[in-house]
Amino acid sequence: MTDDEMINCREPERQLERAIAVMHRLRAPGGCPWDAEQTHESLIPNLIEESYECIDAIRAKDWAHLREELGDVLLQVLFHAELAEENPEAGFTLADVACDLSDKMVRRHPHVFGTAQVQDSDGVLTQWDAIKRKEQSIEDKPYLKNCGKGLPSLLKAYKITKKVAKVGFDWPDHAGVVEKIREETDEVAETLALPDNDPQVEEELGDLLFTTVNLCRRRKVDPEVALDAANRKFERRFNTLEKLLRAQGISLEDATAEQMEAAWQQAKKQQS
């Protein structure tokens, strides 16, 4: 594409071609100095940030914003593919990435593109995992090998618990998990007399968090989504608390614990 075509092209079927051409132009001699300086490593923060901004738009059901954020995520894919194409050691293109993805989706959906039979979504996931383990030649490796690799700890715990549940390592009912949470809470309480830097404090709190994630899984609640909702709720209520105190001429710094608690209870009633 020429520069004029990149600027003026509006044909829907050519927009991906246009985006690839724009990315190539930015990296080419005479392009953008900032883009020319970037590496796979330097772009890692951008990839993480754009992914989370996309997630935020989904949770807010802000569709116009989601459209923009999906474009920003796509930019990261285009950028990394362009860098790989420039690197002889990598030597792959965006077309290679798309080809690999299509091949993988066909292979792992034999119930759609082949003759396999599955009954429900759980069956699809079990089949996917079995095909993946066979493809990666890890059938004789530890079952949890690389499970959740690179994920934040909360999401990794969720993925681990889902995976072991597939092979029957699970509580028979929700009540068993709740009882385990009570047990873990009691063990946390037993550490209150220990100093903060005692390893047992961290261990017991970790066990409590892990078991809570297990209950989220059983109730089909994504713990990341649930925690995000709790964060948002707390922020709304605390903002209300601050306004209530300010209306009384009290700053957060000057408020007593009793004044904060009273304002908090009032904020909860207003936010309920």
Whether pLDDT at 139 is above 80: no
pLDDT for 148? 86
CA proximity to 175, closest of 218, 136, 135? 218
Reduced to 3 states (helix: H, G, I; strand: E, B; else coil), residue 10 is coil
- Answer with the residue of higher pLDDT: 66 or 134: 66
pLDDT for 141? 81
State the Cα angle at 214 between 211 and 220, rounded to 5°: 150
pLDDT for 147? 85
pLDDT for 116? 93
pLDDT for 230? 93
pLDDT for 30? 94
Please state whether 249 falls in left (phi above 0), alpha (psi between -120 and 50) or beta.
Answer: left
pLDDT for 5? 85
State the Cα angle at 222 between 238 and 61, rounded to 5°: 65
Residue range 185-232, pLDDT digits in tens: 999 999 999 999 999 999 999 999 999 999 999 999 999 889 988 999
Q: Tell me, what amino acid is at 259?
A: Q
pTM flag (> 0.75): no
Residue range 141-192, pLDDT digits in tens: 888 888 888 888 999 999 999 989 988 899 999 999 999 999 999 999 999 9
Write b or e for each residue in 127-154: b if 16 or more Cβ atoms lie within 10 A of its Cβ, otherwise e: bebebeeeeeeeeeeeeeeeebeeeeeb
pLDDT for 169? 92
CA distances for 258 relative to 202, 235, 245, 264, angstroms = 30, 20, 12, 10
| Mean pLDDT, the chain, integer | 93
How far is residue 23 CA from its own chain's centroid?
A: 26
| pLDDT-above-70 percentage for the chain | 99
Whether pLDDT at 252 is above 80: yes
Q: How far apart are CA 229 and CA 221, in angstroms?
A: 12
State the Cα angle at 249 between 245 and 254, rounded to 5°: 70
How far is residue 81 CA from its own chain's centroid?
A: 22
Interacting residues of 72 by C-beta distance below 8 A, sequence separation 6+? 50, 53, 54
- Mean pLDDT confidence for 70-79: 97
Whether pLDDT at 138 is above 80: no
For residue 39, name the pLDDT band (cuts at 50, 70, 90): very high
Whether pLDDT at 272 is above 70: no
**Listed range (10-19, 137-146, 185-194, 235-244) with the worst mean pLDDT:** 137-146
Rounded (to 5) percent helix, strand, coil in the chain: 70, 0, 30
* Other CB atoms within 10 Å distance of the CB of residue 164: 15
pLDDT for 184? 97
